[in-house]
Structure 1
């Protein structure tokens, strides 16, 4: 079974941050996200790998 796609609200809750932080990370830090129409969608495994690499905490 494939991994479900998560919304910005879902991934924000998963990481314990606000949705505004998610959008800032997409723009400023290259957070892995996929644009579907006008919505951003996320795979938890991609985001978790990105966090583990330390990219979420890297300087701007």
Structure 2
């Protein structure tokens, strides 16, 4: 069975951040998101890989790599 798509609200709760942060990460940090009509949808596996690769790290943390 394939993994279900999550909404902005669900992925924000999953990551423990605000919806505004999710939108900022989509715009500025390349968070993996898929636009379906007017809605953004997410696969947890893609987001988990992005987080593990440092995509969600703060600027100081990203510059240390």
TM-score (norm 2): 0.87
Cα shift readout 1:36-59 (whole Å, capped 9, x = no counterpart): 000000000000000000111153
The structure showing larger relative contact order (alpha-carbon pairs under 8 Å, at least 6 residues apart) is: 1
Aligned-residue CA RMSD (Å): 0.8
The aligned counterpart of 2:45 is 45
Give every structure 1 segment of 4 or more consecutive aligned residues whose post-TM-superposition deviation is greater than 4 Å: none
Gaps of 5+ in 2: 60-65
The aligned counterpart of 1:56 is 56
Gaps of 5+ in 1: none
User: What pairs up with 1:4-43 in 2 under 5 angstroms?
Assistant: 4-43=4-43
Cα shift readout 1:11-60 (whole Å, capped 9, x = no counterpart): 0000000000000000000000000000000000000000000111153x
Query: Number of residue pairs matched?
Result: 59
TM-score (norm 1): 0.94
